[in-house]
Chains A and B, each alone.
Chain A
């Protein structure tokens, strides 16, 4: 059974600082997705990572995938308040089903 674990579950960080969210999964997969969710809203797609070594960047966010280690990271550079949200990773094991981590709630303060 595929398990997806994120850590930390909650992250409070100061504006301007850097931090990394980790996503570990239990079985082989080369398809990993990152989503953002604002309170009371739907999920917004951030990154689609489809191969080992994939790295994608958008603004202050950068995601990477290491399929051998079964690990993806979401790195935040010079955080700003607008990045406050809950971030989810999700894994597709090729069975046409997306399995989610429990999410990381990010709070950025001045």
Chain B
């Protein structure tokens, strides 16, 4: 999607290993979010950021940490991956003007084996 990229697009990792997903934006937006999508659950908020070094937990934050050292990058780390963290992860950004809503990245499909 224009202005927001996620990497990697696909990843397979082993149980117990740390994994970091990256979200990069070129829109200079203040707000950034990480969601996971699982069948039957829609999208659930993991963590979000409202500025550099300002982050907070969402509804499913256990086992995840985040960092935002620059406006353009928001990193999601699975500290010790488990099979229950197999999911599709989406990053989203939002400007201060809610009129424009939220823009989502293309997603990262993570498989933990």
Which A positions have Cβ atoms within 8 angstroms of B?
31, 33, 35, 41-43, 45, 48, 50, 88, 90, 92, 96-103
Whether the Cβ atoms of B31 and A101 lie closer than 8 Å is: no
Q: List 27 A-B contacts (CB under 8 A).
A: A31-B98, A35-B104, A41-B106, A42-B1, A42-B90, A42-B106, A43-B104, A45-B101, A45-B102, A48-B99, A48-B100, A50-B98, A88-B42, A88-B43, A96-B50, A96-B94, A97-B33, A97-B45, A98-B33, A98-B92, A98-B102, A100-B35, A100-B43, A101-B42, A102-B40, A102-B41, A102-B42
A98→B35 CA distance, assembly (Å): 10
What residues of B have a CB within 8 angstroms of the CB of A33 in the complex?
A: 101-102
Q: How extensive is the interface on chain B, given as a class?
A: 20 to 34
Is there an interface contact between B48 and A100, defined as CB atoms closer than 8 Å? no
Binding site for A on B (CB under 8 A): 1, 31, 33, 35, 40-45, 48, 50, 58-59, 90, 92, 94, 98-107
A48 to B103, CA, bound (A): 12
Told that A88-B42, A99-B59, A100-B44 touch, could you supply 15 new A-B pairs with CB distance under 8 A? A35-B104, A41-B106, A42-B104, A43-B90, A45-B101, A45-B103, A48-B100, A48-B101, A96-B50, A97-B33, A98-B92, A99-B45, A100-B42, A100-B43, A102-B41
B31: chain A residues at CB < 8 Å are 96
Most A-side CB within 10 Å, residue of B90, B99, B102: B102
Task: Give the docked Cα–Cα distance between A96 and B30 (Å).
Answer: 11
* Distance in angstroms between the alpha carbons of A92 and B101 in the assembled complex: 10
Q: Which residues of B contact A97 (CB under 8 A)?
A: 33, 45, 48, 58
Task: Give A15 Cβ to nearest chain B Cβ, in Å.
Answer: 27
Task: Name which residue of chain A comes closest to B101, CB basis.
Answer: A48
Please tell me if the beta carbons of A98 and B104 are within 8 angstroms of each other in the complex: no
Chain B residue with Cβ nearest A98:
B102
- B33 A50 Cβ-Cβ under 8 A: no
